Every structure is written in structure tokens, then in C-alpha cells.
Structure 1
Amino acid sequence: MTTELFGRATNYARGVLSELTNDDLRRPTPCEGWNAGRVVLHLADVIDALIGLLETGMLALPQPPRTNDLRPVALVEERLAKLTHAFTVAADATRVENATIAGAVELTTHGWDIGLARHPAHRIPESLAEDVLALVSPTLNVSSRGENFAAPVDVPSNSSASDRLLAFLGRVPRH
């Protein structure tokens, strides 16, 4: 299930990225102080961290983070190709499982950040949001949020799966 979910999250993020223009890269995102271009570069860093997790068992973002690239969307595609290769040669099942979980959450969340920069009403597809929320909610607690996720935001229980996932991850859903 997680491998399939990771594939859906990857396809979602790729779809969002495929719509970006150079002008869109300067648009603000819901991440305070971050434009779409910076989030795209962060996504490349996240993918490198997932590759590292598969290869070494350690999940760590590259330091210093990327801050400039003339073709950030192409960079993400290149990194995704390397990640696909890393999955094919990974021998440790626990690392693969951890990378697919982290990747599904990151690609979905940052796909939304970038999508919202282009369209104020952008939503995560409901089935993807439901499945990512079901995957992450049992494992992301107060102690594991660290600096990566803010405290959950309250939303009505009848909110869309997209809004419930975003709120759970500490983001304020936009309507």
C-alpha cells in the first residue's frame, strides 16, 4: 500500500510542478517567507534526504539547503529519477518503508504548497489526502513533529480530507 501511495503522491507533485511557469516560481506559498521556487528547491533537498535514507538509514536534509537553480522543476525531476533508482537497489525493507511514508507525506504537502501558489483554491485530491492522513496520523505525535510540522490546526470534522490532512500537519487550509 505505501509503495502505491508513494507513487500517487509523486504523480500528484509532478502534475503540480508541470504547470509551473518561471513567473509562478516567484509567487508566495502558504509557507511564510517562501515563494514557490524556494519550495521546489526544498522538494529537491527532501528527495535527496530520501535517497540518503535509502542508502544510509539516515534522513537528513542536505546542508546548506539549495537556494538557487535556474531550472528548479527540472532539478526535481532529475532527483526523482535518482530516487527511483535508489528504490530499485535498496535492500533494507525498513528503509524502503520509511522512505515511502516520508516521501508520500512530503510530496503531497509540498505539492499543495506549490499548487496553492498558482491557484488559491488548489486542493489535494481527496483519495490521496485520505490515504496520506491515514498513513501519517498514527505516527506523527507531539514529540515527532519537531521543527518540521507545526501543531495541528482545528478544522470542522466534516472538512474535506485535503483540509483535514493539511490541518493535521499544522497548515491552515485555504478556501
Structure 2
Amino acid sequence: MNLVELHGRSLELAAGVVGTVQPEQLVLPTPCAGWSLRRLLEHLVGQQLGFTAAARGAGPDLACWRDVPVAGDPAGAFRHSAARLAAAFARAAAAPDPAPLWLPEVRADEPVPFHAAVGFHLLDTLVHAWDVAVSLGSPARLVAAVEAEPELAGTLLAVAGAVPAGPADRGPGQAFTAPGTPTGAAGPFDRALALLGRDPAWALPLR
């Protein structure tokens, strides 16, 4: 698969996770500090529409990146925005030399090369899909599905390893926290999570 196809696969796997969310679960906490499951899903949909606008040539307009209310149908909102993004990426990738994308939430001063942008959203999709799955108490199926596809798992790990990890890039207000140290037996998904500051052993707080 090429990178755009792998990205499409990441959307499919994430949609499978989001499709299991029940309305009463939208209040659950997530590994994203201070975010409920509803807030996380609204962020996911907003990001998909933001990347869609960028792939269609939008400039550095933060208005394109607002979180989007998911109302009573988070799975439908996710699938609809994912389909729009997949089509926009496919159309942009068909150009002989795809134009870079403006991603003001990632880099405000200049556009990001197309394939780097696709890779970053692949990473964001799978990591946030894990956030959703672990909030529901069932991340193992997603992790196994990704690791059953070595090309997808390898891409996830490679992109995670390329995310800047300096003090100015990680911490409060940033997308990721300081990298952790995975265990020796960790698979590629858990190693990617640790590189991004996620705790692969995160679980819902006991009530």
C-alpha cells in the first residue's frame, strides 16, 4: 500500500472503534487530560474536516479546525468526515507533485509537505482511536488489528519516532507529552504510544 492507502486503512480501523461508542459512554474520561469521550470525538471530527480543507487548498485559517459537535450520532459524524478526508487526500495525491498543506495547528509559519501531513494524520487517527478504545476498556482489538498489518504498524512507529520531542514541543498545551520508556516486550503500537508520551497501560480510574 502507498501512504494514502495506509491512511485510508487507519480511518477504517478508527471508524470501527468509534462505531462501538454508546451514548451513555460519551461522558467517560480519556487519556487526553481533561477531555471526555464526547470532546475527543468532536476533536477527531473537527481535525478530519480541517485536514480536508487543507487538502483542498485552504490557507492557515484556524476556523477550519474547530471541534464539531457530534450530537447523538458520533459514528455517523466520524464516518462522514472520514469519507470527505479520504476523497480529498486521494484527489490531492493524484497530482504529479502534491502541494503542501497548511496545518496551522501543527505548524503556523509554513505549509507541511503533503506526505508528511498524511503521515501525521495517520498517526493522529490511530492514536486517538486507541484513546477511544482504552476509554471503552477494549484497546486490545485495535492494537492487534494494526499489528497484524506490518506495513501499517511500521508506518505508525516511524511517524511517532519523527515527532519532535524537545522541551518546547511536548507538555501542557502541546499535542503530546514527554516520551516514555516502553517495556522490552512492547509491540510497535505500544512503542509508538510511549514515544508520544501515552501510557500503554492507561485504564479508566476506579470509581
Equivalences, count: 175
Structure 2: how far apart are the matches of 1:100 and 1:71? Answer: 26
Deviation at 1:168, TM superposition (A): 0.5
TM-score (norm 2): 0.72
1: distance between equivalents of 2:116 and 2:191? 22
Match of 2:158 in 1: 134
8 Å Cα contact 1:5-1:132 kept in structure 2: no
Aligned counterpart for 1:161 among listed residues 179, 188, 192: 188
CA distance in 1, matches of 2:16, 2:138: 17
Stretches (4+) displaced over 6 A:
none
Match of 1:14 in 2: 15
Q: Percent identity?
A: 27
Q: 1:139, CA displacement in angstroms?
A: 4.5
CA–CA separation in structure 2 for the residues paired with 1:2 and 1:144: 25
- Matching residue of 1:84: 86
Q: How big is the shift at 1:120?
A: 5.0
Cα distance change, pair 61–131 in 1 and its aligned pair in 2 (3 A): farther
Give the alignment of 1:73-112 within 5 angstroms: 73-90=75-92, 91=95, 93-95=98-100, 96-112=114-130
Deviation at 1:84, TM superposition (A): 2.3
| CA deviations over 1:137-156 (Å, ceiling 9, x no partner) | 13534255571111101122
**Aligned: 1:171 with 2:171:** no
Cα deviation, residue 116, structure 1: 0.6
| Pairing of 1:52-63 with structure 2 (within 5 A) | 52-54=53-55, 55-56=57-58, 58=60, 60=62, 62=64
Deviation of 1:129 after TM superposition, in Å, equals: 3.5
Spell out, residue by residue over 1:68-114, the C-alpha distance to the aligned partner (whole angstroms, 9 max, x if none): 63322211111112212322432452534133212201110100000
How far apart are the structure 1 equivalents of 2:138 and 2:201? Answer: 7
> What is the TM-score when the length of structure 1 is the normalising length?
0.84
Q: Post-superposition shift, 1:43?
A: 0.3
Give the aligned residue type for 1:16.
V
C-alpha contact (below 8 Å) 2:46/2:68 kept by paired residues = yes
Verify the 8 A CA contact 1:44 1:75 in the aligned structure 2. yes
- The alignment yields a C-alpha RMSD, in angstroms, of 2.6
Residues of 2 paired with 1:84 and 1:52: CA distance?
12
Segments of 5+ residues of structure 2 without an aligned counterpart are 101-113, 203-207
**For structure 1, which runs of at least 5 residues remain unmatched after alignment?**
none
Q: Judging changes above 3 Å, is the alpha-carbon distance between structure 1 residues 120 and 10 closer, same or farther for their aligned structure 2 residues? A: closer
Structure number with higher helix proportion = 1
Whole-angstrom distance in 2 between the partners of 1:16 and 1:61: 27
Q: Which has the larger radius of gyration?
A: 2
- The superposition leaves residues 32-70 of structure 1 with CA deviations (integer Å, 9 ceiling, x where unpaired) of 222222111110111122113212364857465335633
